[in-house]
Structure 1
Amino acid sequence: MPRFFNKLEKKAGSSPGLQIDARAASGTASDICVLIYSKDSLETYHPPDIDAALPLIQKNKTAWIQMTGIHDHFAFSRMGELFNIHTLTLEDMVTPSHPPKFEDFDNYYYVTLKQLAFDPKKDEISETQVSMAVMENLVIFVQDRPSPCLNAVEKRLHAGRGKLRTAGPGYLAYALIDAVVDQALDVIGQIASAVESVERDMLEDLNPGHLEQIHRLKREVIFFNKQLRPVRGAILSLIKSESPFVPDTTIRFYADILDHVNHVLDAVTSLQELLSSMLDFYMSAQGNRMNEVMTILTIISTIFIPLSFLAGIYGMNFKFMPELEWQWGYFVLLGSMAMIGGAMVFYFKKKGWF
């Protein structure tokens, strides 16, 4: 799939909403995990299907349903029926190329984000879509494949410290979004380290491989910006939302996430400018190197112009050339050439031309 263009994943003119694809759904069942928790307890279940997860939900406790894998369309369709989730939301959940966004519905709100990771060996960013529907006493979290942010929040739940156990689904949703944004902070930090490493190498020993590295890092920064920039709009929409599932106590925390996103986007802008300046430096250095080579070649050519002139004169096949009969004529000519060449080298050196 192209990384910079989200290809249309359904046929043009087809009905809106989730379309069950039996071929895509076969053999790709989603893995379901359910966490039921309160201040004093935490229970974990692994039901075989989404129908078995429904009876586990308790009125006075927060339920967190985790679904890993987005190709089991039958399971998502059934989930929509059980929890009254709009078919357009279900379509977004199973579309991995969907950009980050926030949507508010009567009985829930929906957020989709991109979990990013950076491979320093390949200088490449990988993405995983994560989505969540937040309801009364329930958060449904969907991911294409396991993500680090999920593990981090789970550890906090098991530790039982802080507000996570007592603040309800609204705070759980905040914790998950915060973990995704924190991961983006880590990724941009790794990219910045890679850029600075290339910059140091360029200053020490410039070589053609640096051009490829700069181009690759520029692509990754653009890709990162493409994935993160919509998050700012999603968080702003969430803050301004009047949804009853966004507690007033979490608004200040979302404002803090927004500050983090703005900080990361500022860092992205700085990295783009730095990479552009590095590219300019590379091209300028290559141009200077070429100018130095041309200067040396020009000096060599200039030195040989008078020498070639003398050699050309005495290389002519005229019968009467007095100098050809001189006993020391050959050595005088060589000496003259050496003196002329030496004088020109001395002059060019004094002028600082090489």
Structure 2
Amino acid sequence: MARFIRKEKHEIGLSPDELLFRGEKKVEEVTIRVIDFDAKNLEENALKEIAEIQKYQEKKTVTWLNIDGLHNSTLMQEIARVFKLDDLVLANVMNTTARPTVFEHDNCISISVKMLQLNENTGLVSVENLSLILTKSVLISFQEKRGDVFEPIRERIRKKKKRIRNGWTDYLAFALLDIVIDNYIYIIGVLGEKIEILEENLGHDQPSKSIIKKINTYKRELNFIRRNIRPAKEMILSLSKMESEFIFESTYVHYKELLDNINQANDSTDSYREILTDQLNLYHTTISSKLNDIMKFLTIFSVIFIPLTFIAGIYGTNFEVLPELQYKYSYFIMLAAMLVLAIGMLIYFRKRKWF
């Protein structure tokens, strides 16, 4: 499956507000969880249908509605009806291949971003689409599958951390996006440690052939991360500059923190890509240098034996008249001359620092 962009043939020409799931189905059943809280009270429930959310809308509390699974178009229609959302908003939620974006609508802000996960066994990075719909009292989060990536946020709510319990949906949205971006930095850091270990291995006189495979793997993963981080950076920048009634003035400072963090992640990917390029060049330089040394040795070896072969060729001919052949010590003289010639050439090459 394509990791960067994918579009099915039957999707071509469809209306933008068509409630059609676009992506890979990762769960069989859609689960709905709700956390409703204010500074003093907390309520957590698993819902069977969206209609149950209406009782929370009547309260002056913050309601976090989390949907795991995006393939149920009937459920999406129900969400649109209950929260009076435009179909275009939910259509974007169901498109998991869409680029990270942020839009302000009449009654909400819609946000989409890519969540990255690192498989510790294979070292490969996978992507999951996260969509947020931000209203004044309700934050709806949509995930492709159930996971515990946001469990630290739930724990902060349960432990009555003042900032999140006293905040509104705009601060809760910041907390979720902060988790996503922190995960970017974590994954880049893990890959960075592996890349730095490669530098130590490249310092050996004979680097392993497996190094070139690792370099190409890390470059591919960093390119994949970078392709997801760069549009997310644009989205965070737009969000930090957005003047919206759904975001309190005091929360903008936190969105600017997000921008700083994602800039750090983006800069780190660029730095590690440059390091990998340098490592690749160093590997090829080391191999070329080693090959040059081998060729130099073989050349010197051949040059020494050329005159020896010449001498052996002369006295190995079948002519009858070769005066030296009649002399008693000719063979030993020839061997001595060949030996002196070989040693003399070695001394000459050594003085010229050819080896």
TM-score by length of 2: 0.93
Q: How many residues are treated as equivalent by the alignment?
A: 351
Which secondary structure does the structure 2 equivalent of 1:149 belong to?
coil
Aligned to 2:225: 224
Aligned to 1:305: 306
1:288 Cα offset (Å): 1.0
Confirm whether residue 41 of structure 1 aligns to residue 41 of structure 2: yes
CA distance in 1, matches of 2:300, 2:274: 38
CA contact (8 A) 1:115 1:147 kept: no
CA contact (8 A) 1:29 1:71 kept: no
Aligned to 2:13: 13
Aligned to 1:174: 174
Confirm whether residue 89 of structure 1 aligns to residue 95 of structure 2: no
Give structure 1 stretches of 5+ with no counterpart.
none
Aligned to 1:76: 76
1:89 Cα offset (Å): 1.9
Aligned to 1:269: 270
CA contact (8 A) 1:6 1:98 kept: no
CA contact (8 A) 2:39 2:162 kept: no
Q: What are the residue-to-residue correspondences of 1:91-240 with 2, within 5 Å? A: 91-204=91-204, 205-240=206-241
CA distance in 2, matches of 1:120, 1:347: 57
1:143 Cα offset (Å): 0.5
Which secondary structure does the structure 1 equivalent of 2:246 belong to?
coil
1:53-73 Cα shifts (integer Å, max 9, x gaps): 333444211111111111222
Gap change, CA 1:218 and 1:20, over 3 Å in 2: closer
Aligned to 1:324: 325
CA contact (8 A) 1:101 1:234 kept: yes
Gap change, CA 1:305 and 1:225, over 3 Å in 2: same
Gap change, CA 1:14 and 1:30, over 3 Å in 2: same
CA distance in 1, matches of 2:302, 2:338: 14
CA contact (8 A) 1:118 1:125 kept: yes
CA distance in 2, matches of 1:89, 1:169: 18
1:149-185 Cα shifts (integer Å, max 9, x gaps): 3112111111111311111111111111111111111
CA distance in 2, matches of 1:6, 1:283: 35
CA contact (8 A) 2:19 2:90 kept: no
1:281-307 Cα shifts (integer Å, max 9, x gaps): 111112111111110111011001100
Give structure 2 stretches of 5+ with no counterpart.
none
1:121 Cα offset (Å): 4.1
1:229-274 Cα shifts (integer Å, max 9, x gaps): 1122211221222221111110011011111111111112211211
CA distance in 1, matches of 2:40, 2:47: 23
Which secondary structure does the structure 2 equivalent of 1:97 belong to?
coil
1:65-101 Cα shifts (integer Å, max 9, x gaps): 1111112222112211211222222122122221211
| Residue identity opposite 1:29 in structure 2 | E
Aligned to 1:284: 285
1:193 Cα offset (Å): 0.8
Gap change, CA 1:9 and 1:243, over 3 Å in 2: farther
Confirm whether residue 242 of structure 1 aligns to residue 240 of structure 2: no
CA contact (8 A) 2:19 2:76 kept: no
Which secondary structure does the structure 2 equivalent of 1:96 belong to?
coil
CA distance in 1, matches of 2:174, 2:193: 29
CA contact (8 A) 2:131 2:141 kept: yes
CA distance in 1, matches of 2:270, 2:248: 33
TM-score by length of 1: 0.93
CA contact (8 A) 1:120 1:194 kept: no
| Residue identity opposite 2:64 in structure 1 | W
Q: CA RMSD in A?
A: 1.9
| Residue identity opposite 2:279 in structure 1 | M
